[in-house]
Structure formats: structure tokens, C-alpha cells
Amino acid sequence: MAKSMEPNRNQKNVTSSGADIDEVKRQNANSGLSYNQAKELLAKQTAEREMAQNDYVHEVGKENL
């Protein structure tokens, strides 16, 4: 009798080393920002801070004219 090509929904999706793939994906989804997301957020915050500092310096310069 030939085996069905459809995955058995009752079986866990595991790697050859025994790690539960679905559990790893679930934990990754709940782990917070990825490296690239954190890098992007820091770049955005740094740019905003620099813009605010430049605006402040420009305003202080106007007062001293």
C-alpha cells in the first residue's frame, strides 16, 4: 500500500535533531524585535534626535544675532 503524500496533522513538525519547528516559530514570534528591526528603530531615533538638535542650534543662533 502506498503512503499518502499529505502530512499527518497529528504528527509534530520536527527537525532531524528533534527540535519542534512549530514551537520554535511560536517562540521567535514572541521574542521581540529582530536584529534588523532594532537597527532600523535606532537609526530612526538617532536621525530624529539629530534633527531636533540641529533645530535647537539654529534657533539659538538666531537669538544671538
Average pLDDT over residues 45-58: 88
Q: Does residue 42 belong to any structural domain of this protein?
A: yes
* C-alpha span between 58 and 52 (Å, rounded): 10
Rounded distance between C-alpha atoms, residue 4 and residue 11, angstroms? 14
Spatial contact of 44 and 34, defined as CB atoms under 8 Å apart: no
pLDDT surpasses 80 at 22? yes
- Domain membership flag for residue 45: yes
Residue 3 lies in a domain: no
Mean pLDDT confidence for 36-54:
94
The answer to whether residue 49 sits within a structural domain is: yes
Where in the sequence is the domain holding 62, given as residue range(s)?
A: 35-65
18 found inside a domain? no
Q: Is 18 left (phi over 0), alpha (psi -120 to 50) or beta?
A: left
The tally of domains found in the chain comes to 1
Mean pLDDT of 54-62: 75
* CA 25 centroid distance within chain: 14
